[in-house]
Amino acid sequence: MSAEKRLKELDLQLPAVTPPVANYVNAVRAGNLLFLAGKGGRAGADGKRPQGKIGREYTVEQGYQQARDTGVELLSVMRHELGSLDRVKRVVKVLGMVNAVPEFQDHPKVINGCSDLFVEVFGDKGRHARSAVGMGSLPMQIPVEIECIVEIAVDARAQRSSATPRRRPAARSAARARRRARR
């Protein structure tokens, strides 16, 4: 099933992409890979972003929801950059960072919020390699930050048009004749 159709089926509305908070861009494309900058959860109804540590201000379950919300942010960036989530060929890698108290041990359970979302939206194409790590702090004390790399399905027409044009046999023959004449 198409990722866009699955998004509608899950009744997920993707918000507008938030601008970067410093001197970087939300995503960079290199060949058929799209590298997404780290994102955190969106501001709540009160206009404030969540702040605090998992294991102190937030439970594992609340952290899971924070990671899922962050996954929605990443999906927004993917759609903004690619025009459609259907252009995602595969989620390659996820790096999940958890702002946690030192004794916290369930980082993978928290980042599952994002991983589960990607599998729900993309199916098997959403399964990815992943690191889930604890941090002493994160920017603005957000509880979760996640970045990812996705492989992009390349449009065959775009591939043909960007390919280096080949010389026609007649052009090669004319070039060869000019070289011989110079000898």
82-95 pLDDT tens trace: 999 999 999 999 99
CATH code of 3-182, in short, is 3.30.1330.40
Position 45: which residue type? A
Determine the average pLDDT of the residues in 101-117: 98
At which residue do the structure tokens 């970067």 appear?
20
Of 34-38, 61-65, 135-139, 162-166, which gets the smallest average pLDDT? 162-166
pLDDT above 50 (res 45): yes
- Is residue 164 exposed (0-12), middle (13-18) or buried (19+ Cβ within 10 Å)? exposed
pLDDT band at 41 (very low <50, low <70, confident <90, very high): confident
Q: Which tops the pLDDT comparison, 131 or 20? A: 131
Determine the average pLDDT of the residues in 96-114: 98
C-alpha 138/C-alpha 144 separation (Å) is 8
pLDDT at 109: 98
* CA-based torsion, 170, 173, 174, 175: positive or negative: positive
C-alpha 59/C-alpha 106 separation (Å) is 10
pLDDT above 90 (res 179): no
* Domain residue ranges of the chain, discontinuous segments joined by +: 3-182
pLDDT band at 177 (very low <50, low <70, confident <90, very high): low
pLDDT at 162: 46
Q: Is 47 left (phi over 0), alpha (psi -120 to 50) or beta?
A: left
Q: Parallel, antiparallel, or unpaired for β 88-99 and 129-135?
A: parallel
pLDDT above 80 (res 11): yes
pLDDT at 163: 47
72-84 pLDDT tens trace: 999 999 999 999 9
118-175 pLDDT tens trace: 999 999 999 999 999 999 999 999 999 999 999 999 875 544 444 444 545 555 566 6
